Amino acid sequence: MSARSRGTVGLVRTDRRTGALLRARGATVRVDGTTLLDGVDLDVLAGEVLVVVGPNGAGKSTLLSVLAGDRAPDAGTVTFDGAPLATVRPAELARHRGVLLQENRVSFPFRVVDVVRMGRAPWRGTDAEDRDEDVVARALDDADVTRLAARRYPTLSGGEKSRATFARVLAQEPRLLLLDEPTAALDVKHQERVLARAREHARAGGAVVVVLHDLALAAAWADRVLVLAGGRVAADGAPAAVLTTDLLTAVYDHPVDVLPHPVTGALLVLPRHAAGTVGAPADPTAPTAPSLAEDLA
């Protein structure tokens, strides 16, 4: 990945009262009598990668849509730079926060480079427009899709589409990145590349909120982890404090081992697999398989 410095256009201030770029208090969302988010409090801070994890239906994507301003909470408040998020003009908001959704559809057979250029739309008519081609080229490089620039978007694989859309979000040059499962369709190399770019964005003074299902990636890349369960915050803190065997086992209703890597000491978060052949019933007379944590103890 290119190590050259990246300029940031149109930075917004953090809320001087809280130190937060984005702040949610008591955010609640209800749909058809079902509570999807229940009183969520959250500060999104510049300079950090905040990873949101939780089981299916925990409210992760709903929270991201509330933080993006795409869905107004039914109760509670969300402020951006100290102002109610709902009062920020769409054009201004588009310059300051970029959103990568789980599903990205393009109806027409645009070339990849044209899809990435769409990320520059919020800057049309401003001085930043003069930098469009340089920004687009850098975004293509960062997402490793330069060689795909002339390809038609519908012809790409799922992982290639994900990377092209990530490049579009980077071309937007927002201070706040909101990424929903950006690594789901990616191979190992590109998972690492995308999250490394997110970390670089935070170190340059931006803020990143990323939803991940992969707990190992969360442990490796998060500065802070928010665990959601049933629409509520189950934990919020440093990975080592939040990603614990007891908490994750309870939240996911499945045994999870959390242990130090035997070489690096970094956190390893691994689901405990049932013994025996996949699809075969367990043998009640067989000895219980030790956990990975016990094996490495």
Question: What are the structure tokens assigned to 203, written together?
Answer: 């170190």
Residue pair 292/270 in contact by the 8 Å Cβ criterion = yes
- Whole-Å CA distances, 45 to 86, 205, 295: 19, 9, 39
**Span 73-88, average pLDDT:** 94
Instruction: Please report which confidence band the pLDDT of residue 16 belongs to, taking 50, 70 and 90 as the band edges.
Output: very low
Residue 184 has pLDDT above 90, yes or no: yes
Instruction: Work out the pLDDT band at 277, boundaries 50, 70, 90.
Output: very low
CA distance linking residue 85 with residue 24, whole number of Å: 10
What is the C-alpha to C-alpha distance for residues 41 and 197, in angstroms, rounded to an integer?
A: 27
pLDDT digits (tens, 9 = 90+) for 94-106: 999 999 998 777 7
pLDDT digits (tens, 9 = 90+) for 113-125: 999 999 999 999 9
Mean of pLDDT values over 205-231 = 96
pLDDT tens digits for range 138-150: 999 999 999 999 9
Full set of structural domains in the chain with CATH: 22-253 (3.40.50.300), 255-297 (no CATH)
> What's the mean per-residue pLDDT of the chain?
87
Instruction: Please give the average per-residue pLDDT across 192-199, as a whole number.
Output: 97
pLDDT tens, position by position, 253-271:
999 999 998 898 889 999 9
The mean pLDDT value for 244-257 works out to 96
Percentage of the chain exceeding pLDDT 70: 85
Nearest to 110 by CA among 152, 138, 144: 152
Distance between CA atoms of residues 125 and 122, nearest Å: 9
pLDDT at 275: 62
